[in-house]
């Protein structure tokens, strides 16, 4: 049982939602981090990078993720039943390195609509002190909501992550980051582990004090309050819209102004909720703004308008511009239950991009999408378009309703020709826990899949199902797959 004192507070939660990262200090002794560093040096020198096998190769790392400081932060952000993802990696920033370029982590080369809601996070663990000299990770706060970068780098904030050995940084999966140059004579290591949410929030899982987004807090910027407040409410298991009053005509006029004016206007309109309905056409136009931050605010402002925005947003799923389609999907997902019927109808559209974005938006709602949506999505498990099937598989997991329809559909998708469809299906089944028991045989087959993440997600699903049959299948597989951490080429027996 985790002591509640280790859960995040409001200011820490506010920082993570707005800026996409939070630095944690492990409570473990310095000797453990020293040992991890030395063992890592030995492994790299003798064997090279162990990749996904870094944890079984250096089992002491598990103590980092069992640390109540780390567990408390993960519980606060991705729920009490979060799981460690099958992908993990040790990043080496070698002595004298020039560092790396800015990037978002990919989904192993696959196309995916990135979540704004916190369902997928990373921990960056550093077994040595991290200073400006030895090549820290740098982050761009707030960029987890953006696909692209600013036109002018001067408009971005670049911050190094510094700290003593044992420092852990909790990072939204989609945050822009990079390795900085290492001017020292020692290697700098960073262990990257990923964690995912298995259930949608119904109540706060942090030490909440404020009922809504704090008006005054630790976040230095205010340009996306409309977005941050909706994410905060989602974490709290609530749905709030209207918060303020404003001069609609002046705000509409500002949508033709400078970037700063457009950002402020879309944010202010978003905080009006349904009262912003007179600005509907102007906000729809802002979905196509050249600046992604404006498009982001416009999407959440349209979500706040509610029912009046649903029809135009459904139409925008077929816009010729991909960013407009994507932000329309974000808006529809944030609308919630009122948009379900229209999105279910859109699942029958002849155009694959409309079906795919409709599936994403329904999945982004979680259980609010309802059982009818789960049934309609299940019927698309043989959709001719690969991207649609990927979104269908993932959406069935986040909605997590009607296992009589969803579980057979996901079991069938475990045999799909596309790797990402298969590992999305396996991970979706993990969300269902014991109610996915009917998929045990299909998951047993998937344990031998040629894709490592299908295998990994299938082990997670069987663990969550937890029936004697599922445990038997899993133990049989893990007995053969077990890694001995003390066996090397020098000591083979």
Q: How far apart are CA 282 and CA 77, in angstroms?
A: 34
Angle, helices 386-399/403-413, rounded to nearest 10 degrees: 140
Global pTM exceeds 0.75: yes
For residue 153, how far is the Cα from the chain centroid? 25
Q: How far apart are CA 73 and CA 78, in angstroms?
A: 9
Among left, alpha and beta (phi > 0; psi -120 to 50; other), residue 370 is left
**Mean pLDDT (the chain, rounded):** 94
Residue 379 lies in a domain: no
- Residue 218 has a pLDDT of 65
Please, where are the H alpha helices in 79-224?
none
DSSP string covering 464-475, please?
HH--HHHHHHHH
Low-confidence residues of the chain, pLDDT below 50? none
- Residue 140 has a pLDDT of 96
Q: How far apart are CA 447 and CA 463, in angstroms?
A: 12
Domain assignment of residue 32, given as a range: 4-196
Residue 15 lies in a domain: yes
pLDDT, one tens digit per residue, over 168-222 is: 999 999 999 999 999 999 999 999 999 999 999 999 999 999 888 887 666 767 7
- Residue 294 has a pLDDT of 97
Residue 123 lies in a domain: yes
Residue 12 lies in a domain: yes
- Residue 217 has a pLDDT of 65
Specify the CATH number for the domain of residue 47.
2.60.120.620
Residue 181 lies in a domain: yes
Q: How far apart are CA 332 and CA 131, in angstroms?
A: 43
Residue 261 lies in a domain: no
Q: How far apart are CA 126 and CA 64, in angstroms?
A: 10
- Residue 220 has a pLDDT of 65
Beta-carbon count within 10 A of 38 CB:
11
Residue 92 lies in a domain: yes
Residue 482 lies in a domain: no
- C-alpha torsion sign, points 206, 210, 213, 218: negative
Which strands make up the sheet holding 159-160, listed edge to edge? 159-160, 137-139, 177-179
Domain count, the chain: 1
pLDDT, one tens digit per residue, over 5-41 is: 999 999 999 999 999 999 998 889 999 999 999 999 9
The closest alpha carbon to 388, from 399, 379, 375, belongs to 379
């Amino acid at each position: 049982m985790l002591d509640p004192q280790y859960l995040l507070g409001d200011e820490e939660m506010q920082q993570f939602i707005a800026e996409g990262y939070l630095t944690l200090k492990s409570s473990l002794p310095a000797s453990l981090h020293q040992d991890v560093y030395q063992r890592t040096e030995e492994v790299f020198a003798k064997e090279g990078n162990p990749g996904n096998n870094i944890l079984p190769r250096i089992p002491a790392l598990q103590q980092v993720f069992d640390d109540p400081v780390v567990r408390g932060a993960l519980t606060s952000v991705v729920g009490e039943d979060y799981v460690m993802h099958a992908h993990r990696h040790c990043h080496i920033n070698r002595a004298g390195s020039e560092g790396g370029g800015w990037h978002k982590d990919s989904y192993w080369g696959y196309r995916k609509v990135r979540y704004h809601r916190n369902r997928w996070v990373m921990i960056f663990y550093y077994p040595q002190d991290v200073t400006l000299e030895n090549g820290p990770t740098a982050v761009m706060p707030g960029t987890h909501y953006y696909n692209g970068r600013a036109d002018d780098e001067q408009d971005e904030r670049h911050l190094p992550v510094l700290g003593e050995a044992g420092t852990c940084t909790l990072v939204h999966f989609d945050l822009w980051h990079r390795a900085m140059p290492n001017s020292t004579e020692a290697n700098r290591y960073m262990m990257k582990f990923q964690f995912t949410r298995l259930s949608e929030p119904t109540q706060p899982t942090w030490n909440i004090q404020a009922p809504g987004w704090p008006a005054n807090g630790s976040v230095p910027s205010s340009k996306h309050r409309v977005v941050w407040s909706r994410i905060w409410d989602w974490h709290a298991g609530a749905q709030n819209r209207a918060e303020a009053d404003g001069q609609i005509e002046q705000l509409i006029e500002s949508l033709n102004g400078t970037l700063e004016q457009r950002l402020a206007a879309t944010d202010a309109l978003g905080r009006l909720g349904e009262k912003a309905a007179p600005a509907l056409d102007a906000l729809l136009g802002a979905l196509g703004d050249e600046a992604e931050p404006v498009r982001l605010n416009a999407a959440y402002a349209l979500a706040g308008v509610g029912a009046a925005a649903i029809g135009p947003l459904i139409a925008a799923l077929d816009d010729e511009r991909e960013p407009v389609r994507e932000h329309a999907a974000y808006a529809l997902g944030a609308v919630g239950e009122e948009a379900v019927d229209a999105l279910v109808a859109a699942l029958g559209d002849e155009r694959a991009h409309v079906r795919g974005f409709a599936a994403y938006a329904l999945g982004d709602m979680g259980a609010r999408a309802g059982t009818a949506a789960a049934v309609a999505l299940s019927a698309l498990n043989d959709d001719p378009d690969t991207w649609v099937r990927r979104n269908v598989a993932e959406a069935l997991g986040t909605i997590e309703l009607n296992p009589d329809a969803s579980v057979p559909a996901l079991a069938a998708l475990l045999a799909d020709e596309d790797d990402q469809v298969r590992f999305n299906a396996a991970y979706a089944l993990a969300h269902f826990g014991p109610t996915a028991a009917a998929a045990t045989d299909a998951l047993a087959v998937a344990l031998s899949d040629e894709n490592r993440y299908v295998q990994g997600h299938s082990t997670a699903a069987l663990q969550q199902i937890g029936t004697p049959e599922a445990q038997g299948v899993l133990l049989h597989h893990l007995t053969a797959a077990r890694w001995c951490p003390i066996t090397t080429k020098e000591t083979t027996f």
